[in-house]
Amino acid sequence: MNRRYAIAAAAFAALLLAVTAAKILHVPVSYVPWAAPSARAVEQRGPLSDGEKATIDIFERVSPSVVQVAVRSAASPLMGEESQGGGGASGTGFVWDRDGHLVTNNHVIASGGEIAVRFASGEVAQVDLVGTAPNYDLAVLRIRSVRQLPAPIALGSSNDLKVGQSAFAIGNPFGLDQSMTSGIISALKRRLPTHGGREIANVIQTDAAINPGNSGGPLLDSAGRLIGVTTAIISPSGSNAGIGFAVPVDVVNRIVPELIRNGRVPTPGIGIVAAGEDVATRLGVEGVIVVRTAPGSPAERAGIRGVNFSTGAVGDIITAAEGKPVRRLADLTDALEQAGAGKTVRLTVKRGSDSRDVNVGIVDIDRS
């Protein structure tokens, strides 16, 4: 046994000496490879899962109808990223109908300037602004030239959504083309403040990744139907943190036709100034405290009374609209928007220990 070890050690020493000498004398040394230098064989995989097939089908059907929206202002000749501000902005939009109307977020195009869209095919088209609804963060564009448009995205409903069901977002995050992310519906009936100074009710929350540039893109259900328009995120860093929001499609389907017809959406109101929710909380009040009514407004004509500034006594508190509880101002504005300007709403008003129902006309407060 010792003799074998001695022979092996001697052979190894000789090999090491030869290699060292070759390096010193710059003599090339040939190495014998352990395997043949050929590409590895591809191992065949099994069929895609049903879930994978369904997701692929959603993207292939819907993505042609999703566009990148870019705005170029007079101050900047370049199209900028939505997250960078400055002279330009970019976001996402999608085909609404076969007449060339596209839907996006109002904040994507709010900076003004020339607007262009890029389709999934790479084709670029100039568009005109049809109308905006800042209170809902929605805007409608229309393609100038007649072209063969992709099919509009099929509409779903946001009324029957369930927390936990799948959700898919398609958009252009950070200017990247045609990205798809997936997740679930994390919450429903969120309230989202807008630049118009109001709140969007019944907003959808999702953990599908949404980043700057996704704004205005479609949120889809597992059937590939439109259930919302992605609009905002909550994130300390400005990037996806798993909390994204979408304007519910039932709101979109009510607002967009109005924008196409008139270029604007009425702001329904009854002519009151309401106290903040913090005031109601401190007073232990559940409802909307009327601070004052506008002279000649429907609220004043209906006998609604505000705070008595001489005594500081609280006047009327609106506690219900059409029989549904009103716990905060957003509940009231939602009821007014559902009814619409020109209609009448039945309000339950509490004054002291007495409650009564009054019928109040709804007007467009932007034009009243």
The set of catalytic residues is 107, 137, 215
The rounded distance, in Å, linking the Cα atoms of 61 and 219 is 14
Decide: 304 and 297 in contact? Cβ < 8 Å. Answer: no
The rounded distance, in Å, linking the Cα atoms of 334 and 328 is 10
Tell me the chain's radius of gyration from C-alpha atoms: 31
DSSP, residue by residue, 36-91: -S-PPPPPPP-PPPHHHHHHHHHHHHHGGGEEEEEEE-TT-SSPPPGGG-TTEEEE
CB under 8 A, 24+ apart: contacts of 126-132: 127/102, 130/101, 130/259, 130/260, 130/263, 131/258, 131/259, 131/260, 131/262, 131/263, 131/264, 131/265, 132/106, 132/259, 132/264
